[in-house]
Structure 1
């Protein structure tokens, strides 16, 4: 390698450990600030997790933070055309949507900071486990930009429209402990215990039957957009579909035999 050669680290790192896929944001020198390449990396890794039949996906950041949001240095240094701006914005939206609609449950492990676009990525996950002293914030309006990733919907679903509006318009900072108390994230723990808490949740999820978990994820995603009767119908159809699977038979047999079931996703 000549002295002019440069080695560029990938913006994300994918690992598969048993039934658990791990997607690591890999820009630690920039506190994992997002770029178009990082969004592309997350999308590729989610596709890879699906191809690997991963039962659960953990989304985390390398270094001192989960993600501090948009790489403002990248924005300052580059004039984008209208098309480039539109492509970037929709890339961000599609990445969050991919997380929200991925077939397997996704756990976001948040330490340090989850700010702006980083908070939007975390909030797109099915479960968010935060360090008590980590910070969650939506600062967009304070710097002349706007939130994304469906946050105006997700926050309102979790804490009500009034509180969601306050969090977005005031750009207030929440600790992990406060965010858990308000129900914005799943739970918070000491940072020294965060790895174990994420591993336990991932193991618990990976041990469940994949098909009904996928149905549950899809149907909870419709809350607020579907009627009660719609949900009753969807539940019945999902239950009937599950009853036609090998995993349903395995679950019934395991219960009758007082043993742990072994699910295969079929």
Structure 2
């Protein structure tokens, strides 16, 4: 599966999606966002895919941001439509049942940072730089960055990063809780694929329900989140995967999950 600006390689249940515009640091033009939307929808519907790893082409950038040349000539109505298009993409990534890992291999700024935050967690290379520098252009985050950072970091830290437009190094991003792990550039994608492979070997329904429980639970009171978790937990006991997983454990063999 390939498009004009994306490369997709699927192996052993893991899809590696590469944004392939290295000459412009993989910037998010409207056409790229549309391709990403279509591709994520296709991968989510593909039964052969259990986990998605997203990275950028080249050694400099994951996604350096939205395409400033395109944004520079937008009026307010066009900017609103652009923001909603980007938000639709990040919302789909965050709410689809299949997990997504961002392998940030360089600059992840503005829309690139927001795209990485849409994934379920982030691995970064040692040379990665991250942030939401929109205020340095006279605007603000538009693809959900203010909401994602606010929930992830808390108000004060989110405000500091957004108001200053500061870029964080990979190590700083890990210290702030934005990044799960930092690897040498040459090892990043392999490490992300290794983790994705481990996830792909688990029950897909269980992973999907766990993703939903964490996502929805963050917007609930803890007691309500516990109730919701118990409902999702119980629903899995009507699945074939639950029967297979527990029988495999008893029989001391590897489970053969089917996602049903």
RMSD over aligned CA atoms reads 1.5
After superposition, residues 115-264 of structure 1 pair within 5 angstroms as 115-264=109-258
Which runs of 5 or more residues in structure 1 are unaligned? 1-8
**More divergent stretch after superposition (104-113 vs 183-192):** 183-192
Question: Is residue 14–residue 193 contact of structure 2 (8 Å, CA) maintained in 1?
Answer: no
How far apart are the structure 1 equivalents of 2:243 and 2:218?
A: 33
- TM-score with structure 2 length normalisation? 0.93
- Residue of 52, 64, 86 corresponding to 1:57: 52
How far apart are the structure 2 equivalents of 1:23 and 1:90?
A: 23
- 2:62 matched residue in structure 1: 66
User: Residue 129 of structure 1 aligns to a residue in which SS?
Assistant: strand
Q: 1:83 offset after TM fit, Å? A: 3.8
Question: Is residue 71–residue 79 contact of structure 2 (8 Å, CA) maintained in 1?
Answer: no
Question: Is residue 22–residue 58 contact of structure 2 (8 Å, CA) maintained in 1?
Answer: yes
How far apart are the structure 1 equivalents of 2:220 and 2:83?
A: 27
After superposition, residues 6-45 of structure 1 pair within 5 angstroms as 10-45=4-39
User: Residue 222 of structure 1 aligns to a residue in which SS?
Assistant: helix
Query: Is the radius of gyration larger for structure 1 or structure 2?
Result: 1
Q: Is 1:75 matched with 2:67?
A: no
- 2:102 matched residue in structure 1: 108
**More divergent stretch after superposition (248-257 vs 147-156):** 147-156
- 1:89 matched residue in structure 2: 83
Q: 1:195 offset after TM fit, Å? A: 2.1
Question: Is residue 251–residue 261 contact of structure 1 (8 Å, CA) maintained in 2?
Answer: yes
Question: Is residue 152–residue 164 contact of structure 1 (8 Å, CA) maintained in 2?
Answer: yes
- TM-score with structure 1 length normalisation? 0.91
How far apart are the structure 2 equivalents of 1:88 and 1:170?
A: 24
User: Residue 203 of structure 1 aligns to a residue in which SS?
Assistant: helix
- 1:4 matched residue in structure 2: none
Q: 1:56 offset after TM fit, Å? A: 0.3
Segments of 4+ in structure 1 off by > 4 A? none
User: Residue 32 of structure 2 aligns to a residue in which SS?
Assistant: helix
Q: 1:85 offset after TM fit, Å? A: 2.6
Q: 1:70 offset after TM fit, Å? A: 1.4
How far apart are the structure 1 equivalents of 2:68 and 2:163?
A: 20
How far apart are the structure 2 equivalents of 1:88 and 1:257?
A: 53
